[in-house]
Chain A
Amino acid sequence: MDSNKKYWKGLEELNKTPEFVEKNKHEFAEPIPIEDVLTGGGLAGTTPRRDFLKALGFGVGAVTLAACQKVPVHKSIPYLIKPEEVTPGVANYYVSTYEGSAILVKTREGRPIKIEGNPNDILAKGGLSGQAQASVLDLYDSNRLKNPMRDGSDYGWGQTDGFIKSELAAIKAGGKKIRIVSSTITSPSTLAVIADFITAFPNSKHISYDAVSYTGIIQANQNSFNKAVLPHYNFDKADVIVSFGADFLGTWISPTEFIRQYVQNRNNKSLQAKKMSRHIQFETGMSITGSNADVRILIKPSEEGIALVNLYNALSGTTLPGSKKLANNPNADKAIAIVAKELTAAKGKALVVAGSNDVATQVLVNAINSLLGSYGTTIDLDNPSHQYSGNDAELVEFTKEMSRGEVDAVFFLNANPVYDYYNSKDITEGLKKVRLKVSFADHMDETASACNIVAPNSYYLESWGDDNAIEGYYTIIQPAINPVYDTRQAEHSLMIWGNNPGKDYYTYIRNNWDKNLLAKGGLSGQKGWETLLQTGFVKATPVTSGTYTFGHDLNAVAQTILDHSNLLAADAGKVELQLYQTVAMRDGKRANNPWLQEMPDPVSKVTWDNFAAMSPSDMKKWGYADGDVIKIDANGYTISLPVLVQPGQTQGTISVAVGYGRTLSGPVGDNVGQNAYPFHSLRNGTFQTSAVATITATGNNSPLSQTQTHHSIEGRNSIIKEATFTEYLKNPSTGSGNESGHKDYNENNLFWQEYDHPQYNWVMAIDLNACTGCGACVVACSAENNVPVVGKAEVGRRREMHWIRIDRYYSFNDDGNGGVTRERELSKLEDLDNVRVVYQPMLCQHCDHAPCETVCPVLATVHSSEGLNHMAYNRCVGTRYCANNCPYKVRRFNWFNYWNDSRFENYLQNDHTLLVLNPDVVTRFRGVMEKCSMCIQRIQAGKLKAKIEKRAVKDGDIKVACQQTCPANAIVFGNANDPNSEVSKALKSERTYYVLEELNTQPGVGYQVKVRNISETEA
């Protein structure tokens, strides 16, 4: 039975706007300008014959000249003295750390070309975020500072050291304050260096703050349990997860780790054990976490606190002062009652999290978790997370100190407050009164340009270092390349300026590990150090996580929350503004990374921009259309942003992403979007992420480059398949179309040639229930396969080159009456709030009956005996027939020579960034088609390795790039000829279905039905 539920990719498709219908009739969104060429005087001109002869003559001449050079001379330059560990053509892997997660750095001939997860990492177990994947490109960023600078001009390291040392001596004598401002530092050795510096200059202090702050949680834990820490959450131990605006699968604290934990209770394995966690999300804007939730309840920022108070009341049976019904949101009220019941039932296996940075709100959340017995099970306060430890109040105090003229020296380490502090004027004005301003930034960023000395820090891939993301887990950072530019590690600089007796930072780390850290993992001495450089981390035995009971009075807390809510409630004619981070850009530190800019946002599918997300009914109310630029005014700050219709956005609110609008990040990131940080405000000592805003139309329209509507699903209903958990328990094959046995579409095959797969049959299984849509695979694929970046304008023309995309489908909640028709759905358009989302990674399906193969006139795309659909670029003449005939729309056409066309600021064109290319994969020329090759270079390498080692290829030997990076392990790749391989087992699951199976394309990629844990009463 096929579902008749309707899915749609964007509102254009749902509404069938005439423009959309017209565009989708054609293969390409914009017609090819043949008319212009034909009418542009070319044929009607007076001397076409002469022009023809000229062109002919030139052509013949050019070809003759080109043919004169007999052999192009290629130089081959060997090493003078080859390092022992380097073999040209063979990759070396080095353990290192990215944001607390152990990683492997793949280097070729000494240059890092890819970041891969360390399978033994205890946080993500080999998964990596898109940001981590993209971080390798920043190493070669040619806009990084190439040497120290003083007042904007080059300055040597010797001069810098002399200048700073003499200044520091004078400042020390003067007795004024020295401040080191940084974002959270998780490295024990860096912290030790800073502590040493403070010992040398006792009037100095280390101030740590985070652009997106978690001070609220830390402060709340201090108030509740006398522990000023960020707890370590265990989503894998929670059966019921309730989140109030915490985007823990996208951006909150440690998303890659949380994805792994979260999916453990929802993936195929868990379902087969008849177990699935339940996740209820209360939120304002549609986040990646909300879109994955079983139930998503819309609340305004002003309602969040009250909803939590109500939840506490329902759980505890008491009534806190100020608790009231949510008058305008009966849905949420109803939901809270149900949620309370479910949470009580799951006591000890429940978890409530909130994204708010408000101390009172977080204290209340602590009280709720204490009621639920979460401490010691789902929340671990004894092995806390160190990932964020910034203190908002300290930074505010620092700005005051500066304005009072008390500060004589300031050092900025990995901090850019001029960009991301809500009141950056305080910083710029204050800095003018500071005598010595030093930034360690590796770019001339907003803060660095306000400093008189910039002492560029080396990139993490060029550095020694260590990290301690969660208590007891110590990881090492080792350089994978010598510094590309004349940079120096900030720690080393601080050691020199602080007259540290340590020789250099490497020795310092060695000593620190020898003395304090190696022993934690049972290692010691030189041998222990060498083991560490192989394994990448040490793990101390974790402390038993204790239970904590909340025992404070909540009346004052509830009153604060109520006041807070009243402040945030917008009057008529205003909207509530919510600030959030996008999965791709996060806090904006990597704004100059083109891979991240071009990675579509998981939910909105917007690239290269931030925008104001608004609910469809509000759009109608305000009379806006997609891309209309509106002026947003809040907290005394105004920006203009295009508005985007976002189904699932709470009515009366808009959401704006921070991390955009950099002005000095480099040519890629500058002036992409608008800076939303100044919308933050300070309340009760912490930064608040919501505000009341006035919006006005500007009359301009600035179209956003979205990838969501680039293909139509043509009303087909065999692309996405869904089931509820209750249905699944009754019949595991519900929704897959195999309820009454698998239908063989190949029965009456007349014209498809059948292929043998005598050795291997490479296939893939993708679990839609595990995939969270985070998009890490998109970046990993770009890095592995040298996929070009095309820029905003080209994405707008539907010419993005990604080999794998995450399709995001919306559907309405089925109201249980069945028989959903288009008319009924359209009637619901008034209220497009209650939508559900399914993510589907879409890549070349490597069909056995490939429609692309049959139409290629030059046999450039052909089938292999291993079940793959090969694409020979050098044979392709660019007819694009294959793309036209592909039902999955996964083929990408090279409209330009992205690697040498000056119209594109492409990373492939730069001599530095070019070094990131994978030498095992060619770059493609203009006019050829390309598509997912199932990482054939990895398949071939895996087979060769087995052949040389004289053994059979083992299952799991070969991992494709998207599979390898997936934190959710949603993608399984392997040999279907081996009945015991993981992929064979996965494909045998009852939930398996093939997209557009009825076309009898016999795809090689199987998907597993999305299951939602919805109780029947809610459905």
Chain B
Amino acid sequence: MRSFSLIFKQFSRSVLLIAGFAFLVSSAYAQGDATKGEALFKANCTTCHKIDIRLVGPALGPTISSETDDKWLTKWIENNQALIAAHDKKATDIYNQYNQSNMTVFAQLSDGDVANIIAYVRADWKTEQAAKPTTPVGPAVETGPSSLVIWALLGVIILAFIIILVLNKVVTTLERLLLKNKDILITEEEIELVTVDRFATVKRLAKNKKFVFFVLLCGTLALGSWTWVTMWTTNVHQGYQPVQPIKFPHDLHAGAMQINCQYCHSGAYKSKNASIPSLNVCMNCHKTVKTESPEIHKIYDALGYDPTTQKYDADKARPIQWIRIHNLPDLVYFNHSQHVVAGKQKCQTCHGPVETMKEVYQYSPLTMKWCIQCHKRTKVDFKDNAYYTQMQAVHDLIKEGKPVTVAQMGGIECGKCHY
């Protein structure tokens, strides 16, 4: 075994040596390894660059492909500051073009690393260019049903017309036949007799007072309970799931991505409103994430934001009109921070498993009964909160080892929510 490992060691060493040599040679000719370059690119560049479009910095695909002076490129990537400081014309031009924002200095990258990155970018841009003619430029535009579907539908309608006409013809012919044949009329009389018999059963049943009473009772009960349920649930919109102007998937953001609810609904901590996030919160991520999605482009449109120039045009901005799902009536005062911070409730207690919802629906009934039930059951967490230190009565209960509910703290009194 030992000899085998020795051989292996030697072999691997020689392979490494050759590989290293080859690498040196290739780097001397600035021939980078695209696969290595990809890893480096993703680790170092994606914060500010994309291959195809401008982000903070220029779109790298076209820029690097068109740049022939690899030495200069390497210098720029490794230490752009030095170039700018040396008043290199090309460098200062770029610097000024991109709002004089400094590019990070990548002193840790070797010339080889840079070459790999360049190779990757050029290769990727090439394949992208090659694939371009078949993929539509820009976000997919909804063009409605295709013309094929419309023609098929027209065909179906015409076919249906023809069938109706044919069937009509058949019916009239059959009727004419019937008039000619009198035997069939006799059979019709027989059928009439049978129906008379049926009415008789009904009449017989109608004379049965017990049966009538039973039927009426059932009817009243059914109608009554239907009315009862309807009245109880009038204006209770549990399950309400309106279609929102943007298909925002909570399951992706709160579920798969594990983004904290309060990252977007920051008001829940400090205000009565949990607040729908303003669009600048969306842009924190979506300036770079999923920029091609048509849904994200709705955000851009609302903001008057142009992803190619990265400029906002306030004149084109128009706010997004979300549809409110949880509608408490005006006569009730509800405060999110009271429940989330002071009461330490999870969002899910009232809003349900939002992290699994593709589209959010109203999970709770939001009735007063539902509020009160929770206030009666929820124990107040008085630990480490000096607010409760003065409350003698609460202390007494705690001393007796009894839990204190919100209701006992006055949480179901009218004026606590209605004013």
Binding site for B on A (CB under 8 A): 67, 70-82, 87-90, 756, 758-759, 860, 862, 864-866, 868, 870-875, 920-922, 933, 936-937, 940, 943-944, 946-948, 950-953, 978
Contact with A along B329-348 (1 / 0, CB 8 A): 11101010110011000000
List A contacts of B409 (CB < 8 A): 759
Q: Residue B6 at the A interface, CB < 8 A? A: no
List A contacts of B415 (CB < 8 A): 864, 868, 870-872, 933, 936
Q: Across the interface, do B413 and A89 meet the contact criterion of CB distance under 8 Å? A: no
Q: Across the interface, do A87 and B270 meet the contact criterion of CB distance under 8 Å? A: yes
Question: CA–CA, A87 to B271, complex, Å?
Answer: 7
Q: Across the interface, do B273 and A80 meet the contact criterion of CB distance under 8 Å? A: no
List A contacts of B319 (CB < 8 A): 77-80
Contact with A along B307-332 (1 / 0, CB 8 A): 00000000001011111100101110
CB contact under 8 A between A76 and B391, given known A71-B242, A870-B415: no
Partner of A922, one of B237, B270, B387, B419: B419
Question: CA–CA, A74 to B273, complex, Å?
Answer: 15
Q: Across the interface, do A948 and B333 meet the contact criterion of CB distance under 8 Å? A: no
Question: CA–CA, A862 to B412, complex, Å?
Answer: 12
Question: CA–CA, A80 to B271, complex, Å?
Answer: 19
Q: Across the interface, do A73 and B331 meet the contact criterion of CB distance under 8 Å? A: no
Q: Across the interface, do A922 and B330 meet the contact criterion of CB distance under 8 Å? A: yes
A interface: dominant SS: loop
List B contacts of A78 (CB < 8 A): 275-279, 319-320, 322
Q: Residue B56 at the A interface, CB < 8 A? A: no
Question: CA–CA, A456 to B103, complex, Å?
Answer: 50
Partner of A953, one of B240, B275, B329, B387: B387
Q: Across the interface, do B418 and A947 meet the contact criterion of CB distance under 8 Å? A: no
- Min CB distance A74 to B, Å, is 4
List A contacts of B337 (CB < 8 A): 944, 948
Q: Across the interface, do B331 and A873 meet the contact criterion of CB distance under 8 Å? A: yes
Q: Across the interface, do A937 and B280 meet the contact criterion of CB distance under 8 Å? A: no
Q: Residue B123 at the A interface, CB < 8 A? A: no
Max chain B C-beta neighbours (<10 A), residue from A75, A873, A920, A933:
A75
Partner of A77, one of B303, B320, B331: B320
List B contacts of A862 (CB < 8 A): 413-414
Q: Residue B410 at the A interface, CB < 8 A? A: yes
Some 21 contacts from A to B, beta carbons below 8 A apart, are A73-B242, A73-B324, A78-B275, A78-B279, A79-B280, A80-B280, A80-B302, A81-B279, A87-B271, A88-B275, A89-B267, A759-B410, A864-B410, A864-B416, A870-B414, A870-B419, A920-B272, A922-B418, A940-B416, A947-B387, A952-B387
**8 closest residue pairs by CB, A with B:** A870-B415, A758-B393, A89-B271, A82-B278, A79-B278, A89-B273, A74-B324, A872-B414
Question: CA–CA, A745 to B270, complex, Å?
Answer: 46
Partner of B273, one of A73, A88, A871: A88
CB contact under 8 A between A70 and B324, given known A78-B319, A936-B419, A944-B335: no
- Min CB distance B240 to A, Å, is 5
Question: CA–CA, A946 to B341, complex, Å?
Answer: 12
Q: Across the interface, do A870 and B413 meet the contact criterion of CB distance under 8 Å? A: yes
Partner of B393, one of A90, A759, A874: A759
CB contact under 8 A between A81 and B418, given known A73-B323, A947-B385: no
Given A78-B322, A81-B278, A922-B418, 5 other A-B residues pairs in contact with their CB atoms under 8 A: A74-B324, A78-B320, A873-B418, A933-B415, A978-B390
Question: CA–CA, A180 to B363, complex, Å?
Answer: 66
Which residues of B in the span 370-415 have a Cβ within 8 Å of any Cβ on A? Answer: 384-387, 389-394, 409-410, 413-415
Question: CA–CA, A865 to B279, complex, Å?
Answer: 44
List A contacts of B327 (CB < 8 A): 71-72, 74
Question: CA–CA, A56 to B389, complex, Å?
Answer: 59
Q: Across the interface, do B392 and A758 meet the contact criterion of CB distance under 8 Å? A: yes
- Min CB distance B277 to A, Å, is 6
Q: Across the interface, do B323 and A76 meet the contact criterion of CB distance under 8 Å? A: yes
List A contacts of B208 (CB < 8 A): none
Q: Across the interface, do A865 and B413 meet the contact criterion of CB distance under 8 Å? A: yes
B interface: dominant SS: loop
Q: Residue B234 at the A interface, CB < 8 A? A: yes
List B contacts of A71 (CB < 8 A): 237, 240, 242, 327
Question: CA–CA, A75 to B320, complex, Å?
Answer: 9
- Min CB distance B167 to A, Å, is 38
Q: Across the interface, do B414 and A77 meet the contact criterion of CB distance under 8 Å? A: no
Question: CA–CA, A947 to B414, complex, Å?
Answer: 20
List B contacts of A89 (CB < 8 A): 267, 271-273, 275
List B contacts of A864 (CB < 8 A): 410, 413-416
- Min CB distance A751 to B, Å, is 22
- Min CB distance A957 to B, Å, is 12
CB contact under 8 A between A81 and B392, given known A71-B240, A952-B386: no
List A contacts of B329 (CB < 8 A): 874
- Min CB distance B110 to A, Å, is 42
CB contact under 8 A between A758 and B413, given known A78-B278, A80-B278: no
List B contacts of A866 (CB < 8 A): 410
Max chain A C-beta neighbours (<10 A), residue from B281, B393, B410, B415:
B415
List A contacts of B394 (CB < 8 A): 758-759
- Min CB distance A79 to B, Å, is 4
Question: CA–CA, A920 to B332, complex, Å?
Answer: 10
- Min CB distance A81 to B, Å, is 4
Which residues of B in the span 218-260 have a Cβ within 8 Å of any Cβ on A? Answer: 234, 237, 240, 242
CB contact under 8 A between A948 and B414, given known A77-B321, A81-B279, A87-B267: no
List B contacts of A937 (CB < 8 A): 333, 419
Question: CA–CA, A79 to B314, complex, Å?
Answer: 13
Question: CA–CA, A78 to B394, complex, Å?
Answer: 41
Question: CA–CA, A933 to B418, complex, Å?
Answer: 11
Question: CA–CA, A323 to B266, complex, Å?
Answer: 77
Q: Across the interface, do B387 and A946 meet the contact criterion of CB distance under 8 Å? A: yes
Question: CA–CA, A76 to B276, complex, Å?
Answer: 8
Question: CA–CA, A874 to B333, complex, Å?
Answer: 12
- Min CB distance B419 to A, Å, is 5
Across the interface, name the chain B residue whose C-beta is closest to A865: B410
- Min CB distance A934 to B, Å, is 9
Q: Across the interface, do B271 and A90 meet the contact criterion of CB distance under 8 Å? A: yes
Q: Across the interface, do A944 and B338 meet the contact criterion of CB distance under 8 Å? A: yes
CB contact under 8 A between A88 and B234, given known A870-B413, A922-B330, A950-B386: no
Partner of B418, one of A74, A758, A872, A952: A872
- Min CB distance A758 to B, Å, is 3
Question: CA–CA, A950 to B330, complex, Å?
Answer: 29
Q: Across the interface, do A82 and B280 meet the contact criterion of CB distance under 8 Å? A: yes
Question: CA–CA, A82 to B331, complex, Å?
Answer: 27
Question: CA–CA, A670 to B178, complex, Å?
Answer: 89
Max chain B C-beta neighbours (<10 A), residue from A73, A80, A862, A978:
A80
Max chain B C-beta neighbours (<10 A), residue from A866, A920, A944:
A944
Q: Across the interface, do A76 and B277 meet the contact criterion of CB distance under 8 Å? A: no
Question: CA–CA, A74 to B321, complex, Å?
Answer: 9
- Min CB distance B386 to A, Å, is 5
List B contacts of A870 (CB < 8 A): 413-415, 418-419
Question: CA–CA, A420 to B253, complex, Å?
Answer: 65
Question: CA–CA, A864 to B407, complex, Å?
Answer: 12
Q: Across the interface, do B385 and A950 meet the contact criterion of CB distance under 8 Å? A: yes
Question: CA–CA, A407 to B394, complex, Å?
Answer: 78
Across the interface, name the chain B residue whose C-beta is closest to A870: B415
Question: CA–CA, A948 to B271, complex, Å?
Answer: 11
Contact with A along B143-182 (1 / 0, CB 8 A): 0000000000000000000000000000000000000000
Partner of A90, one of B270, B338, B410: B270
Across the interface, name the chain A residue whose C-beta is closest to B277: A78
List B contacts of A940 (CB < 8 A): 333, 335, 416, 419
List B contacts of A947 (CB < 8 A): 338, 342, 385, 387
List B contacts of A871 (CB < 8 A): 414-415
List B contacts of A933 (CB < 8 A): 415, 419
- Min CB distance B321 to A, Å, is 5
Question: CA–CA, A978 to B320, complex, Å?
Answer: 50
Question: CA–CA, A866 to B416, complex, Å?
Answer: 10
